[in-house]
Amino acid sequence: MYKYRRKKVIVKSDLPTDLDYLQPLFHYIKQASPVKISKVVGAYNFSITDKHLKQLVNSVGDSLAKANTVVIKNDKSGSKYVPNKSSINKIIDKIRAEIFEDELITQDVTILVILLNKSGLLKDYFSKHEQIEIKEKLNELNKTESANLVQGMINKVEGISALLQAPIFPRK
């Protein structure tokens, strides 16, 4: 579907139908392929209009609504996607099962834990003791053969996070 090389994404094939909710992002990348990740992030976060970001959020949000995992609330500023409590609980239960019950930790759960950790949201769902255990598990993962994968995920999340927080200065 895509190839990632030298901080650029290159589209290699069509988007699988099970990922149709990512169509706005895929279309943008495909048009500009090969494109630097920083350009994609810029187009979705630092543009004069937030057209690209709104399209992606609405596409993902509508897909989640069809799956009954969120409820759409409309107001003057647009659509809001509010997760169902049961959906949140299922995800947290999945994380708990993989982290605390010595199950194989999937890439999805690793990414979710990294995102929760980096966003400061671990404390909303896990006790202090559990947070310590989760961070220890991430450190353990860094010492295994999948360390490059985990470290790569952490670096990408940190890189995108830094781009999102970077101040915008007009070019001269």
Tell me which of 38, 54, 83 is where a domain ends.
83
**H or E element at residue 88:** helix 85-100
Q: Within this chain, do residues 64 and 123 fall inside the same structural domain, yes or no?
A: no
Cα dihedral sign for 52, 55, 58, 59?
negative
Strand boundaries in the chain, DSSP class E: 2-5, 8-11, 35-36, 70-75, 78-83
Q: Does residue 153 belong to any structural domain of this protein?
A: yes
- Helix pair 128-142, 147-165: axis angle to 10 deg: 120
Q: Please identify which residue in the block is written with the tokens 């920083």.
A: 38
Tell me which of 83, 106, 136 is where a domain ends.
83
Residue 65 pLDDT: 93
Give the total number of structural domains in the chain.
Answer: 2
Q: Within this chain, do residues 74 and 132 fall inside the same structural domain, yes or no?
A: no
Q: Within this chain, do residues 118 and 132 fall inside the same structural domain, yes or no?
A: yes
Q: Within this chain, do residues 28 and 78 fall inside the same structural domain, yes or no?
A: yes
Q: Could you list the residue range(s) of the whole structural domain that residue 78 is in?
A: 2-83
Residue 171 pLDDT: 38
Q: Does residue 120 belong to any structural domain of this protein?
A: yes
Q: In what order do the strands lie in the sheet with 35-36?
A: 2-5, 8-11, 35-36
Q: Does residue 169 belong to any structural domain of this protein?
A: no
Considering only 33-47, 60-74, 121-135, 156-170, which range has the smallest mean pLDDT?
Answer: 156-170
At residue 121, φ and ψ (nearest 5 deg) are -95, -5
Average pLDDT on 143-159 reads 64
Residue 169 pLDDT: 42
Question: Measuring CA to CA, how many Å separate 143 from each of 140, 149, 171?
Answer: 5, 11, 42
- Parallel, antiparallel, or unpaired: how do β-strands 8-11 and 2-5 relate? antiparallel
Residue 69 pLDDT: 92
- Distance from chain centroid for Cα 136: 22
Q: Within this chain, do residues 102 and 137 fall inside the same structural domain, yes or no?
A: yes
Tell me which of 49, 83, 117 is where a domain ends.
83
Q: By percentage, how much of the chain surpasses pLDDT 90?
A: 26
- Indicate if the pLDDT at residue 96 is higher than 60: yes
pLDDT tier at 167 (50, 70, 90 boundaries)? very low
Q: Within this chain, do residues 142 and 120 fall inside the same structural domain, yes or no?
A: yes
